[in-house]
Structure 1
Amino acid sequence: MSIRPPSSRVLRLISRNERNIQCLRRVPQCLAQRRSLATKPAPSPAPGERLDPITLHRLEYQRREYYKRRSYYAGTGFVLGMIAIWITATSIELPPKPIQADSGRRADDPLVVLGKEKKIVIQKLGEEPEEVVDSLPTGTSTVPTFPRVLEYYDDAGEGPASNDDRMVEYQCLGLGLRTVSFLGIEVYVVGMYIATDDIAALQEALIRKIDPIASTLVAGEKEKLKAKLYDPEEGSEIWNDVLKSTGIRTLIRIVPTKNTDFGHLKDAWVRHLTARAQSNKEEFGDESFGVSIQEFKQLFNRGSVPKGKELVLSRDTKGKVAVWYDDGKNGATRLGQVHDERVSRGLWLNYLAGKTVASEPARKSIIEGVMEFVERPVGTVATQVVSHNV
């Protein structure tokens, strides 16, 4: 008896049953895996990845502090860099240009005389008389003193500058440092001098501002005058009238405390004159004043002004301003002049009055010097100065 092989249909049914059996055998294993996955806890983050709100706040604070420090360092570096550039620029000595005096003399002519310090005789008990220069402290070690009294050649007189008859005695009204920027960088020492013979006219003019018939001021009146001189508007009016009406001869003596040049000095003065012309067009706004400013600028088209050298601006009885410079090598030289008295008056007011002045210590010193004048009877100050120097 032969056995017939199963048909293809039977074979398919057997194969399907075997697969179903295998699937049923895997069910418990799958269920166990699902059960273990459901009960297994979620993986915890690494310690460095735990960012709670406090940690986030701390990190944000640290980030802000970092950028704040960077801005501070950058700002400090910028300021120090600018200071270094300024110091380097102002320390370079430019080669001096040849000075051409308008007087027709050679720059090295020994007869060209600017002025000389006035010496006085001091005699101590039991000692020989000693001739010394009476000086005033300036407040800086670079230019430690200014002469209290000096002799200066009369620019309005006749005859050669070397003639002793042309020399006029001047007394210091006050002095002070000019500084620039918030760092208080010293630029120069400035002193204002008045001819000894003209002190009485200054006394009388200032006393009349308080009491028209008085010959001296008492304590309360002195304080009243001082307040007026410090007031921006009243002080400008008083000094403007004194300079215009009295014809007093005055000097502005400037000695730089660091190397500079004529251009820097000129620019500051021209800016002040231009601002005055714009604020008072009625008196300073005409075309002739602009021409006078250009003439004044031409006097300073020169080279460097080393520290310790002397520059003097003189104002004569008619208000003419003359500029003198002593480089310490060739003798003092007259650089030129401007006849428009408004130029010298504007320059003088830059140191005497207004809301801001070129040197507040100088203005304060000048006002204190004026107070010493007005507390004495008119005419007695010049007598005391002359007798002191005999």
Structure 2
Amino acid sequence: MFQLLQPAVCRTLSSGIRSFSSTAAKRVLQGGNATSSKLKPLLWTTALAATGLLAWQSSSTIQLDAEPVQAEETIDPASGIAFPNTLKVQSKQPLPTFELVGVGVRTVSFLGIKVYSVGLYADLNGPKLNISKSATPEEKIEHIIRNSVCVLRIAVRVRLVPTRSTSFSHLRDGFMRALQARLVLAKQRNSITADEELAVQSPLRKFKSMFPGTPLPKGQALDILLAPPEFSQQRSLIVRDLGSVQSDWLAHEFFLAYFEGDGLSPPLKKSVAEKLKDFGN
């Protein structure tokens, strides 16, 4: 079992950690199979744990070592990748058990290349979730993202056919295209001011810089966590093993990009909408 960060270590790390090298990801993302029947614990680096801790609450210790609860699994029919139905992130500051809301495959190009499977996890019992059962799927999804702790799990498997080599830089480029598209859409809708657009440029640059050029091994999972909403500070988007960035706009829009229109993965949106059909008060 992983040891929690001691306060003295956190103070030392906080003064020196501002970026994450590709070697950290390569050391952690070796071996393992995220799709086996007994999923191995996800190794969150101490650097990420310290960053997540400082981004959430300076007075609390957060250990971003995630252990999936050994429970039933849901299989993405397009890829055969298994997602645990519940996911637990261990921490001294109690976090909820995440429930799998839906899964789907991300497909790009006219050849129909399947890049990865993605699963959305959320705390569907959160106290801030108060929405009518008659709300549209899009309204329910946005309400959950803005008011609940969420995780996106991205997984690649050898048996994806047709398939392509996936690296962190490929994922980064896709993420940045999606975020830039969200920015253009926000300007068209007049939902972001010029000052807000300028303010989000720095978080966007930091987010882009976190991803190394190394491959994402097939059979491995990458978790991206949307930290709990805090009244006094911006929300954190934490990428396992790579780092975190604080920005309400970036954190929300990263998740919402998967569900705008058909979404980045239409099967994911369809799966989530079906799960939420009877959700609400």
Range class of TM-score, shorter chain? 0.5 to 0.7
- The answer to whether the aligner puts 1:320 opposite 2:236 as a matched pair is yes
Corresponding letter in the other structure for 1:367 = A
Give the whole-Å Cα distance in 2 for the aligned partners of 1:168 and 1:241.
17
1:238 positional shift: 6.1
Given the superposition, is the C-alpha separation of residues 261 and 242 from structure 1 closer, same or farther in structure 2, using an over 3 Å criterion?
same
Aligned to 2:151: 251
Equivalent runs, 1:1-390 vs 2, <5 Å = 97-99=22-24, 101=45, 102-103=47-48, 114-119=65-70, 133-143=71-81, 145-154=82-91, 158=93, 166=94, 168-198=96-126, 201-202=128-129, 204-205=130-131, 207=132, 217=133, 221=134, 225=135, 228-229=136-137, 235=138, 239-240=141-142, 243-244=145-146, 247-258=147-158, 259-281=165-187, 282=190, 283=192, 286-318=197-229, 319-324=235-240, 333=241, 335-354=242-261, 356-374=262-280, 378=281
1:241 positional shift: 5.3
Give the whole-Å Cα distance in 2 for the aligned partners of 1:185 and 1:314.
26
Flag the structure with larger Rg.
1
CA contact (8 A) 1:176 1:361 kept: yes
Give the whole-Å Cα distance in 2 for the aligned partners of 1:139 and 1:351.
19
1:353 positional shift: 2.4
CA contact (8 A) 1:174 1:365 kept: yes
TM-align CA RMSD: 2.7
CA contact (8 A) 2:102 2:120 kept: yes
Percent identity (aligned): 25
Give the whole-Å Cα distance in 2 for the aligned partners of 1:314 and 1:169.
13
Greater share of residues in helix: 1
Long gaps (5+) in structure 2: 1-20, 26-44, 51-61, 159-164, 230-234
Q: Secondary structure at the match of 1:305?
A: coil
Given the superposition, is the C-alpha separation of residues 115 and 275 from structure 1 closer, same or farther in structure 2, using an over 3 Å criterion?
same
Give the whole-Å Cα distance in 1 for the aligned partners of 2:105 and 2:49.
34
Q: Secondary structure at the match of 2:251?
A: helix
Figure out how many residues of one structure are paired with residues of the other and give that number.
Answer: 214
The runs of 4+ residues in structure 1 deviating greater than 6 Å are none
Long gaps (5+) in structure 1: 1-95, 106-110, 120-132, 159-165, 208-216, 230-234, 325-332, 379-390
Question: Could you report, residue by residue, the CA deviation over 1:218-265 in whole angstroms, capped at 9, with x for unpaired residues?
Answer: xxx4xxx4xx43xxxxx3x66545544xx3111101102354111111
